[in-house]
Structure 1
Amino acid sequence: MAEREESLLDAFIDVYMSSLKYLDEFVSEPAKEFHLSFEQYLILRDITQNKDVTLMDIASKRQVTRSAISRQIKVLLKQGYLRQQPDENDRRRLYLLATPAGSKAERVIRQRINSRFQGWVDVYGDDRAHEILNFIREFSQITRMKK
């Protein structure tokens, strides 16, 4: 690897170590009071915003395995944020519904996330926020194509 490329790699590593690895923590912090990960919150959000949601619907939307979502759903059920309701026509099909505690948790976390996000937009400005979003989308698309 050429010296210039090594320097660029070192700069990427430095940025990762000093800021990017904390992005997940920054995003997930609003859900901590409710003992939820950010991924669990996103599942709860999908369920509160949509009707007749099943485990398979969530797995398909996120493009992950059923078992990966099942582990997250178990936590939400155990903590009393979700309940399951069988389909009247096919008792094997279980719909996921938010409990009152789940709806409240989703609403509070959403408000906190919105506030944090607005803080980012206030710092960077709307145009810069869109540039960052577009870069991340492009990076994700290219990364997926190279797999």
Structure 2
Amino acid sequence: MADQEPSLLDAFIDVYMNSLKYLDEFVSEPAKEFHLSFEQYLILREITRHRQVTLMDIASERQVTRSAVSRQIKTLLKQGYLEQQPDENDRRRLYLIATPTGAKAERVIRERISTRFQSWVDVYGEDRAKEILTFIRDFSQLTRLKK
């Protein structure tokens, strides 16, 4: 067993170096034309899907700090993809609204990601894609439990 561990570890390292670290590139490429990271796209997606979304809603949903989301939102505001709209009852509360430019960018990126994902499913098949998804979910849950 001890002899197998280093080779298994080496295989995992090899997969990471030659495959997994490029997964982010594969996923984020469709948003590059709009000068958005994949994370920024996901925030824009959340805002276009729901009404009355606040910065705190996004931070809470993603289980990250307010400042981490704030940096991403600043970029989206600066690029004209989002606007802030005060709550009529509490002017301190700001809702994030997608501009027409932001809504269009979200739609185009979503279509590109969908096409890209479907090509991946076409290669591996739906059953294999579900197996991979199940493994990633299990890995994520176990990693969180060990923290």
Normalised by the size of structure 1, how large is the TM-score?
A: 0.98
Quote the residue 1:4 is aligned against: 4
The match for 1:117 is: 117
- What secondary structure sits across from 1:95 in the alignment? strand
**CA apart distance, 1:77:** 0.3
Kindly report structure 1 stretches of 4+ aligned residues shifted beyond 6 Å: none
Structure 1, unaligned runs of 5 or more? none
Structure 1 residue 2, shift from structure 2 partner:
2.8
State the SS of the aligned residue for 1:89.
Answer: coil
What SS does the corresponding residue of 1:97 show, helix, strand or coil?
strand
Residue correspondence of structure 1 range 29-108 to structure 2 within 5 A: 29-108=29-108
Q: Which amino acid aligns with 1:48?
A: T
Distance in 2, matches of 1:112 and 1:19, equals: 21
3-state DSSP of counterpart to 2:84: strand
Tell me the secondary structure at the aligned position of residue 64 of structure 1: coil
> What is the identity percentage for the equivalent residue pairs of Structure 1 and Structure 2?
82
Query: How many residues were matched structurally?
Result: 147
User: For the residues of structure 2 that align with 1:22 and 1:107, how far apart are their CA atoms?
Assistant: 24
- The answer to whether residue 24 in structure 2 is matched with residue 24 in structure 1 is yes
Gap runs ≥5 in structure 2: none
> 1:2, 1:125 → 2: CA distance?
35
